[in-house]
Amino acid sequence: MAIVRTMTKADIEAVYDLECRSFSVPWSLDSLKKEIENKLAYYVVVEEDGAVAGYGGLWGVLGEGEVINIAVAIDYRGKGYGQLIMESLLDYSKEQGFERITLEVRYSNEVAKKLYIKNGFHQIAVRKNYYQKPTEDAIIMAYEVSK
Ligand SMILES: CC(C)(COP(=O)(O)OP(=O)(O)OC[C@H]1O[C@@H](n2cnc3c(N)ncnc32)[C@H](O)[C@@H]1OP(=O)(O)O)[C@@H](O)C(=O)NCCC(=O)NCCS
């Protein structure tokens, strides 16, 4: 049974582990700890049988949301958890009255792009050589939140 809930301090080690396994340039443990205190941030985890299977979060700044990250642990991918996280971030954005949500994604990350397009995001720009390890362009995507 999977549930989506707000991320807490107790989840940080598991989320850090997930970060390290999912990204070549992961967030540090310290940065993740600070995010729990960040009043502009909203983070959720998907929990399956007590284990953190995925997480995601956004920042709300000046009436806009910016997705900071979404990751699902390898063993839990393809089970709809990325979609659950996305829906929770979209619901939160509607509640907050955000007009738009933006995000960045690696040019070659077809799986993530498919998830975002499925949820109504579209490409608005390309940021050259934005990512490191390996160096790669970022696609900037946006979603206009319906009232
Ligand atoms: C991107 C990611 C979060 C998707 O999570 P997930 O739980 O596996 O995705 P879901 O099972 O919820 O699938 C949701 C949608 O994502 C897309 N998707 C998921 N797996 C896919 C695959 N193997 N191939 C193509 N599209 C895929 C599809 O659009 C899917 O919807 P559909 O099933 O109706 O086709 C996950 O692959 C991940 O953690 N990747 C590594 C970290 C990462 O790249 N994060 C994004 C950073 S911008």
Known catalytic residue at 104? yes
Peptide bond just before 26 cis, omega within 30 deg: no
The answer to whether 104 and 140 are in contact (CB under 8 A) is yes
The C-alpha atoms of residue 63 and residue 99 are separated, in whole angstroms, by: 6
Supply the residue whose CA is at minimum distance from atom 1 of ligand 1: 112
Supply the residue whose CA is at minimum distance from atom 16 of ligand 1: 115
Known catalytic residue at 144? no
The answer to whether 86 and 94 are in contact (CB under 8 A) is no
Residue pLDDT, tens place only, 32-83: 999 999 999 999 999 999 999 999 999 999 999 999 999 999 999 999 999 9
Residue pLDDT, tens place only, 12-44: 999 999 999 999 999 999 999 999 999 999 999
The answer to whether 69 and 56 are in contact (CB under 8 A) is yes
Domain that holds residue 99: 2-144
Give how many domains the chain has, as a whole number: 1
Domain CATH code at residue 40: 3.40.630.30
The C-alpha atoms of residue 12 and residue 9 are separated, in whole angstroms, by: 5
Ligand 1: centre distance to CA 112 (Å): 5
